[in-house]
Structure 1
Amino acid sequence: MLPDQYCQHKAAGSGSSFYACFRFLPPARRKAITALYAFCREVDDIVDDRALPPESARYKLAGWRREITDLYAGHPDHPITRALLPHLASCSLEQAHFMAIIDGMEMDLDRHRYSTFDELARYCWHVAGAVGILAAKIFGASRPETLLYAEKLGLAFQLTNIIRDVGEDLAIGRIYLPADEMARFGVTETDLARQDGGAAFTGLMRFQADRALALYDKAFSLLPEEDRPAQKPGIMMASIYRELLLEIVRCGFPVLTRRVSLTKGKKLWLAWKAWLHE
């Protein structure tokens, strides 16, 4: 299997809406973003594999650090890094951002709780903000403000994931809701374990949702008009993710017991609408 084919298989197999939006890109950029997405899936799968002991996960992540070093030395071995190699210079992709993503994955092995939002935001920058910067460069970023937009949008995406996945994360021992904010709203870990979705939990989640929605607005206020056409794939995904968040709000935050999602048809309609609007 050729490197690009490996990446396409990895990305398509995830079933994510992100991959569908890549199809609107020119071939070279589509190959680059698919390789980036495959890399993210590869390292994320390592820390999400519950059958893998933490020491084994660390060993695999260390292997990816070596692989990224080899990539920037010009002799990658893995199909994903071989697929990324032709795009490093043309898209100005920095080694530090790939390493930051791996750092973020390792954070999931080291800690499963966050005391404050500032702590959580640092984690989110590694697992989503750095990804956003790399993606924005692949799509085409001519202004530094576009990279700030990408950071904010990545944070908004990650907070949306956190809100959607509260119950699923709890099942594997992880809580990404800041502890000080849980205390402020009177929500305990015992409440979460009991799947108590009462008024206190709803208030906490509405606070989280309002912050994420404000970040979507902030991100788009930073995006320069001249880069909006190039950034269409991210805008399309933002349309889908923001609507998902609004759907969770409309449903009353049932995230302790089920995963809220949009239909495939609604996702396609939102993506197409965003494409035409831009």
Structure 2
Amino acid sequence: MSMAAPDTAALAQQVSGSSFYTAMRLMPKAEREAMFAIYVFCRLVDDIADDGTRPRPERATALAGWRRDLAALYDGGAAGQAAFLAGPVKRFGLALADFLAVVDGMEMDVAADIRAPDLATLDLYCSRVAGAVGRLSVRVFGMDEAPGHALAASLGHALQLTNILRDLDEDAAMGRLYLPRERLREAGIESDDPATVVADRRVDAACRRLADDAARHFAEAEALLRSRPRGRLLAPRLMAAVYRALLDDMRTMGWAPPRRRARIGKPRLLAIVARCCLLP
């Protein structure tokens, strides 16, 4: 059975003040509304994956409901909880496969708590939960397919790896550990128990190696943006700049316990926005 339409007003309040919200506010109305619809979809399916109060089979059933409603949306049927996506899908030609890839990523979290995946599995996870969102977004930005997909891949991975490095303790509290086993082994850590790993001072070395991976993805994205492909590029430039600043701050602070969560304050965020707006 399809669920009710989401409370978009409540979600708007939750995202208000974030760098994502700032980027959206700088976009034309149609693009802003489409990006917010994509955000709402991602937030709703992510909330299902992260809902520790419900058993895994129930969460899997909820994600299957999204699959049915998305399929109905593209088939012209009653789209249920996915109905709010109809306008952006039609206006910007958003692909069903990309929405379903995001659901695939959420199902990876629902099937079992991810703990020290190998690099190939982490790459797949990033491609689903971030790269697919990027592919939806670059359609809204009006980018051509080849540079758009390249940007979605590089910037999506950069943002997701930065999130993993920032949310180390929050994820461990949920029983998850996204740091790849190869980086942990290089740091001398054999355990894949989240609480054990985040309490180990050697986790700093593993995180620094993953931060190097994120920095390479940022460099690829920034080079592509500097090539000035066709499209409205202010939003991806802003997201890249904000998250790159977060990554740089974390590299300075390090990841040895106890850690502080890296944040970009409002004055600094406004300065980043101003700098991005001045770029040609």
Return the TM-score normalized by structure 1. 0.90
Task: Quote the residue 2:228 is aligned against.
Answer: 225
Counterpart code for 2:62: K
Give the corresponding residue for 1:21: 23
User: Is the Cα contact below 8 Å between 2:172 and 2:198 reproduced in 1?
Assistant: no
Partner of 1:106: 107
1:72/1:274 Cα in 2 relative to 1: closer, same or farther (>3 Å)? same
Going from structure 1 to structure 2, the CA distance change for 1:194 and 1:115 (only over 3 Å counts) comes to closer
Shift of 1:13: 1.4
What is the CA deviation profile of residues 77-118 of structure 1, one whole-angstrom value per residue up to 9, with x for unaligned ones? 446x33321222331211001001001001001231244211
For residue 157 of structure 1, what is the amino acid of its counterpart? L
Report the RMSD for the aligned CA atoms in angstroms. Answer: 2.3
- Seq. identity, %: 34
Aligned to 1:208: 210
Q: Which residue of 1 aligns with 2:84?
A: 83
The aligned amino acid for 1:90 is R
1:167·1:255 contact (CA, 8 Å) conserved in 2? no
Deviations 1:107-164 (A, max 9, x none): 0012312442111000110000000110111111135112211221011000000011
Question: 3-state SS of the aligned residue for 1:226?
Answer: coil
Cα 1:271–1:254 change in 2 (3 A) is farther
1:31 corresponds to which residue?
A: 33
What's the CA shift string for 1:150-208, capped at 9, x where partnerless?
2210110000000111111111111101112211211243695274453x322211111
Structure 1 runs of 4+ aligned residues shifted over 6 Å read none
Taking the aligned partners of 1:192 and 1:121, their CA distance within structure 2 comes to 23
Measure, in 2, the Cα distance between the counterparts of 1:100 and 1:256: 35
1:50 aligns with 2:45: no
Q: Distance in 1 between matches of 2:154 and 2:169?
A: 25
Mapped contact 1:237–1:271 kept (Cα < 8 A):
no
Counterpart in the other structure of 1:92: 93
The answer as to whether partners of 2:98 and 2:133 remain within 8 angstroms in 1 is yes
Of 149, 153, 156, the residue aligned with 2:155 is 153
How many residues get paired?
Answer: 273
Residues in 2 aligned to 1:191 and 1:73: alpha-carbon distance in whole angstroms: 42
- Preserved CA contact (<8 Å) 1:149 1:222: yes
1:6 Cα deviation after fit: 4.2
> Which residue in the other structure is 1:68 paired with?
70
Q: How does 1:133-172 map to 2 (within 5 A)?
A: 133-172=135-174
Q: Which runs of 5+ in 2 are unaligned?
A: none
Cα distance in 1, alignment partners of residues 152 and 197 from structure 2:
37
**Please, which moves more after superposition, 55-64 or 108-117?**
108-117
Inter-CA distance 115–191: structure 2 relative to 1 (3 Å threshold): closer
Amino acid in structure 1 at the alignment position of 2:228: E
